[in-house]
Amino acid sequence: MKNYPLLIDGQLIETDDTVGIINPATEEIFATVSKAGEKELELAVSAAQKAFNLFKQTTIKERQEILEKISDKIIENKELIANALTLEQGKTLELANMEVEFAVAFSRHFATMTLESEVIIDTDEQRVETHHVPLGVVAGIMPWNFPFLITVYKLAPALLAGNSLILKPAQTTPITTAILGDLIKDIVPAGLVNILADDGELGAKITAHPGIAKISFTGSSPTGRKIMESSARTLKRLTLELGGNDAAIVLDDVDPKAIAAAVFGAAFINSGQTCIALKRLYVQEKVYDELCDQLAKLANAAVVGDGMDSQSQFGPVQNKAQYEIVKAYIEHGRRDGVIIAGGEIPEKPGYFIPLTIVKDIHDGSPLVDEEPFGPVLPIIKFKAVDEAIAAANNSPYGLGGSVWSTDLKKARAVADRMDTGTVWINQHTVFGPHIPFCPTKQSGLGVEWGKEGLLEFTSLKVINISKA
């Protein structure tokens, strides 16, 4: 069985302790990864600090070239990465390949960006300039749903801004991040990127470490709160992309057959394990029954299986803990509504849950009010648009949402009233490296992607000159 090492100070390091990595389609350990502890963390922070002191002096062009080399190396090893991604995460091989391609798109996009200085005053008496300077050692902490993509889209802007990095993948999906470390160890200067896998115990030590200047975290809201508490003593910069319970509002002028596939895809992408997936579907009563029927047909026809099987359209839930959580939400749906697709858990190895749709359910049910983060979708009927907007906004989360209508003016009016960082119209989960991603409420802090996301990895510095 292959063991994947850590990357510290440009060297691949194996430790005495390892963590077994489970294939969620079989529930069997298929590989191990070396486990980092406090000793390895201290070595990584020290190496990253030394590398930063040199790297911050490089030009943007030199950093861009590094990102292009990383992108090329990823593409050269796309098959290796995608196969490992399916084995560790469970998603279909097709989706794994798409994730690798998206990672490269993000890396290449940031490789085209620059950090421009600005002169805001220039008179005979005074000149004032603003500059965006790197922060220092940045820690990226990744989740298990899109482990490779999220690793890369933290790494790329951090490096372009001139920082050094410590990357800690989720304990159940560290393999593709470890592979990335092996691929780039001869591209980046020693110590510039360090990769530490663990069993879930290292995160709190990373977030409290005084030698780390910033935390970029993607994951749950409860963990995000813990990170804020842990990092408060050193006033670290934070970017937190946390939970979401995205609502979609479907108005009664739509053709249910025309939108069903897009709604279905937005709800069940990656078996529902997506922060910006459509998780609550509010449908106006005139088209409610027909849209429910169309979605149920799609769900009942979907093939859920091992991601390595070319016949599979959807993979398993990634880990046992989340599998049990999703099963509990399905029981809430059975109690509070009517299951019209899925709902029956197969008795076989693997964390397989059929795509499940629940109708005739209402706000107040945990399935509606909370985030299942799995392949189960509640559909709620509404009469008046004001009612749907109020329900959609009645959530502690504010990641994304969508409006569906043939009348774009009407849809825009609804979108303007939705309290989320992103609102889509006649689409959902559409994103890109050039589009800022900005959570609100308890869905997080800061911005990812785009110019605004790049600036999150910098500090604003003012040079104020007297010419007198």
Domains of the chain, CATH where assigned = 3-242+443-466 (3.40.605.10), 247-432 (3.40.309.10)
Give the pLDDT of residue 468: 83
Distance CA 441, CA 462 (A): 31
Cβ atoms of 375 and 317 within 8 Å: the answer is: yes
292 a catalytic residue:
no
List 240's β-bridge partners, or say none: 217, 445
Cα-based angle 95, 99, 104 (whole degrees, multiple of 5): 150
List 454's β-bridge partners, or say none: none
Distance CA 232, CA 215 (A): 11
Q: Which of 80, 96, 310 is nearest to 180 (CA)?
A: 80
Catalytic choice (40, 88, 275, 292): 275
456 a catalytic residue:
no
Give the pLDDT of residue 180: 98
DSSP letter at 95? H
Catalytic choice (99, 241, 448, 456): 241
Distance CA 5, CA 244 (A): 33
Distance CA 417, CA 415 (A): 5
pLDDT beneath 50, residues of the chain: none
DSSP 3-state of 210: coil
